[in-house]
Amino acid sequence: MNCRDIDELLESYIRGELDDTTASGVADHLETCARCRVAYEDTRVLVGELIDLGDAFQPARAWSAPALARHAARERRTAQHRWVAVAATFAALSLVSATLLAVPALARQVKILPVAREIAALERDAEQLSDQVEELETRLAEIGGSEMVLVETEPVLDEADNRAAQERAMEFVRAMYAGDVGALQALATGDLAARIADRPADYLRTGGVVFAQINNISEMEGAYWVFIRMSDTVEFTDSQFQLNISLERDGDGFLVSAVEMDA
Amino acid sequence: MDDAMLVRSAQKGDERAFAALVRRNERRLYATAYSILGSSWDASDACQDAFLEAWAKIGTLRDPSSFRPWMVRIVVNKCHTAHRKTRRLVVVEAVPEREAHEFIGPESALDLAEAVRLLDENHRTVIALRYFSDLRIDDIAGILGVPSGTVKSRINRALGRLKDSLGAESTEVHDEL
């Protein structure tokens, strides 16, 4: 075995993937060759650091999602059809949210075609955002039975309200996928419960598997918005979309007052 | 409990077992997707789609002990789909945003992360599959559809480039001192 052979085999040797005969051939060579010992040591350290690097990125979203559910396939409907009534109102709302609340994850989804004067405004927003990012506080919390990463973008929400609103929104999502109209109505304000009774199909999304992650929560003049990033198998291809769930205070808790769908 | 036992439970419909599989693999899968795509939000979306598809298809996984290569294959496919979509997009103006992850490694690892990011796509991909996803050469060859020998030589070349760029950096620091 010469140095060139060793160069080829070193990585597999370090990972313990060579057969015994080849491995002992490499070991014998390393005993006698100072040049290859240096290469071995350098590669061993680098490989160790690369393996550690693979564990060094903590995703901001939690994927062990509470709304993971499976149900018998039922009638399939298209999202566009069911959500058409709220699409127009959402377009306006999302712009307002992005500007007023400077929610980075939402801002990303708002299509902005910058003309010259808007670019300057965007740059100012960007400076504000990076200031906020420096102040981000990330921690784990138990939401709806699953551990999730909470990222606080603005310290305006009351802790208990924040938790209660998110749990209520997730319960609503579960009921949508479980096809449970009664549960949906119980979680909704009177107005929304009446709309659900009138057009239940608009609020059900049964027949699929779903993952849901809360992207953001914000409060605006007493109303709470929970933004949830969704994937489901109802429309299997390009399955990502977002649910925006509005909640109103009801005693100590919250009721869902509107549900909107976004790309 | 190892992955294979969790897979068996998940195949019987145990959602908690699948959630546990996701939890124990998400960081390495995310790092893999991030390395391939170069965008944290695209990587995040690719992982989410991949977990969804994995849950829907977990029943088709015949050998529960091969969960990781099976899962990585799904993630890589989602990355390719994301790539195709991204190529069709015309970027008008990038809106700065926070990353979809928090870096929890030691500060000393940031240079290495940057060196990996600067590799070309083929080399970044084999580094991600080999070390971030911790796959065997044969599994990587199967996922990428190239011979094992090609995977080995790409890995060796990528390691050489990483050594070069990290070595160059420390030389620069040395010069400054």
Whether chain A has a CB inside 8 Å of the CB on B54: the answer is no
Does the beta carbon of B99 lie under 8 angstroms from any beta carbon of chain A? yes
Among residues of chain A, what percentage have pLDDT more than 90? Answer: 30
Closest chain B residue to A119 measured between Cα atoms?
Answer: B93
Tell me which of B82, B102, B122 is where a domain ends. B102
Q: Do B67 and B113 sit in the same domain of this protein?
A: no
Of B34, B55, B98, which is closest to A133 when you measure between CB atoms? B98
Distance from CA of B144 to the nearest CA of A (A): 19
Give percent above pLDDT 90 in chain B.
54
Task: Tell me if A110 is assigned to some domain.
Answer: yes
CA–CA distances in Å: residue B21 to residues A77, B8, B44: 31, 11, 17
Q: Are residues B70 and B20 in the same domain?
A: yes
The answer on B7 and B89 residing in a single domain is yes
Q: B6 to chain A, minimum CA–CA distance in Å?
A: 14
- B76 with B122, same domain? no
Query: Of the candidates B22, B32, B98, which has its C-beta nearest A104's C-beta?
Result: B98
Q: State the CATH number of the domain containing residue B157.
A: 1.10.10.10
Instruction: Indicate the residue type of A66.
Output: P
Residue A175's pLDDT is: 86
Please indicate, yes or no, if residue A71 is contained in any of the structural domains: no
Cβ pair B105:A55 closer than 8 A:
yes
Do B98 and B120 sit in the same domain of this protein?
no
Question: Smallest Cβ distance to B109: which of A49, A61, A129?
Answer: A49
Beta bridge partners of residue A224, listed in sequence order = A219, A247
CA distance A229 to chain B (A): 9
Within this chain, do residues B71 and B140 fall inside the same structural domain, yes or no? no
Is A67 part of any domain? no
Domain boundary among B61, B78, B102: B102
CA distance B99 to chain A (A): 8
pLDDT at residue A104 is higher than 60: no
Interface of A with B in 152-191 (CB under 8 A): none
The ipTM estimated for the assembled molecules is 0.88
Q: Which domain holds residue B56?
A: 1-102
Q: Which among A57, A70, A149, A211 is the top mutation candidate for probing chain B, defined by the most B β-carbons within 10 Å of its own β-carbon?
A: A57
Do residue A46 and residue A148 come from a single domain? no
- Tell me, yes or no, whether A152 lies in a domain: yes
Statement: residue B48 has pLDDT above 60? yes
> With contact defined as beta carbons under 8 Å apart, do B94 and A112 qualify?
no
Given a cut of 50, whether residue A109 has pLDDT beyond it is no
Query: Which tokens sit at B122?
Result: 């083929």
Distance from C-alpha of A202 to C-alpha of B114, rounded to nearest angstrom: 47
- Give how many domains chain B has, as a whole number: 2
Residues A48 and A132 in one domain: no
Average pLDDT over residues B86-93: 52
pLDDT confidence tier of residue B88, bands split at 50, 70 and 90: low
Instruction: Give B-chain residues touching A121 at CB under 8 angstroms.
Output: none
Of B52, B93, B127, the CB nearest to A211: B52
* CB atoms B44 and A61 under 8 Å: yes
A41 and A89: one domain?
no
Residue B12 and residue B82 share a domain: yes
In a domain, A161, yes or no: yes
Q: Residues B89-97: what's their mean pLDDT?
A: 50
CA-based Rg of chain B, rounded to a whole angstrom? 18
From B57, B83, B102, give the residue that closes a domain: B102
CATH number, domain with residue B87: 1.10.1740.10
SS3 B31: helix
Q: Specify the higher pLDDT residue, B96 or B168.
A: B168
pLDDT at A11 over 60: yes
**Boundaries of domain holding A194:** 79-262
Q: Is the pLDDT of residue B28 over 70?
A: yes
Asked whether residue B177 carries a pLDDT value surpassing 60, the answer given is no
B128 and B87 in one domain?
no
The answer to whether A129 contacts B98, with C-beta atoms less than 8 Å apart, is yes
- A33-37, A159-163, B117-121 — which is least confidently predicted? A159-163
The reply to whether residue A50 touches residue B105, judged by beta carbons under 8 angstroms, is: no
User: pLDDT value at position B160?
Assistant: 96
* A62 inside domain: no
Give chain A's length: 263
* Domain identity same for A84 and A48: no
Residue A233, classed as helix, strand or coil, is: coil
Same domain, yes or no, for B10 and B49? Answer: yes
Q: Which residues of B touch A129 (CB under 8 A)?
A: 96-98
Judged by a CB distance cut-off of 8 A, whether residue A53 touches chain B is yes
Does residue A101 sit at the B interface (CB-CB below 8 Å)?
no
Q: Does A239 lie at the interface with B, CB-CB under 8 angstroms? A: yes
Which one of A157-171, A218-232, B145-159 scores highest in mean pLDDT?
A: B145-159
Structure tokens at A5: 């052979």
- Using the Cα atoms of residue B57, residue B58, residue B63 and residue B65 in order, give the sign of their dihedral: positive
- In this structure, are A46 and A100 located in the same domain? no
Task: State phi, psi for A223 to the nearest 5 degrees.
Answer: -95, 140
Degrees (nearest 5) of the Cα angle A152, A158, A162?
Answer: 65
Cβ contact A47–B159 (<8 Å): yes
Q: Which among B96, B100, B103 is the nearest to A56, CB-wise?
A: B103
> Where are the strands (E) in A123-208, listed by range?
137-143, 146-152
B-chain residue closest to A65, CA distance: B19
Taking only the tens place, the pLDDT of each residue in A120-151 is: 565 666 666 656 555 544 555 555 555 555 55
Six token digits for residue A258: 């509107």
DSSP 3-state assignment of A126?
helix
**Same domain assignment for residues A144 and A15:** no
Residue B1 has pLDDT above 50, yes or no: yes
Q: What is the pLDDT of residue B93?
A: 46
Q: Are residues B58 and B139 in the same domain?
A: no
Across the interface, whether the CB atoms of A240 and B136 are under 8 A apart is answered: no
3-state SS string over B44-72? Answer: HHHHHHHHHHHHHHHHHCCCHHHHHHHHH
Q: What is the pLDDT of residue A177?
A: 81
Q: Which residue has the higher pLDDT, A79 or A29?
A: A29
Q: Do B113 and A138 touch (CB under 8 A)?
A: no
Residues B93-113: what's their mean pLDDT? 79
Q: How many domains would you assign to chain A? A: 2
Whether residue B89 is found in the same domain as residue B127: no
| Per-residue confidence (pLDDT) for residue A230, from 0 to 100 | 77
Percentage of the residues of chain A whose pLDDT score is greater than 70: 58
A43 and A95 both lie in a single domain: no
Residues B35 and B52 both lie in one domain: yes
Q: Among A1-5, A75-79, A164-168, B147-151, which is the least confidently predicted range? A: A75-79
**Quick check: A239 and B49 CB within 8 A?**
yes
Least confident piece of the model among A244-253, B57-66, B123-132, B162-171: B162-171
A58-103 confidence digits (pLDDT tens):
887 666 443 333 322 222 222 222 232 233 233 333 333 333 233 3
Predicted TM-score (pTM) of the model is 0.58
Q: Is residue A64 part of a domain?
A: no
Residues 6+ apart with CB under 8 A from B84: none
B158, B127 contact by CB (below 8 A): yes
pLDDT band at residue A247 using 50, 70 and 90 as cut-offs: very high
**CATH number of A96's domain:** 3.10.450.50
* Model pLDDT, residue A13: 92
Residues A109, A21: one domain? no
The nearest alpha carbon in chain A to B56 belongs to A209
* Shared domain check, A118 and A28: no
Percent of chain B having pLDDT more than 70? 86
Is residue A68, in this structure, part of any structural domain at all? no
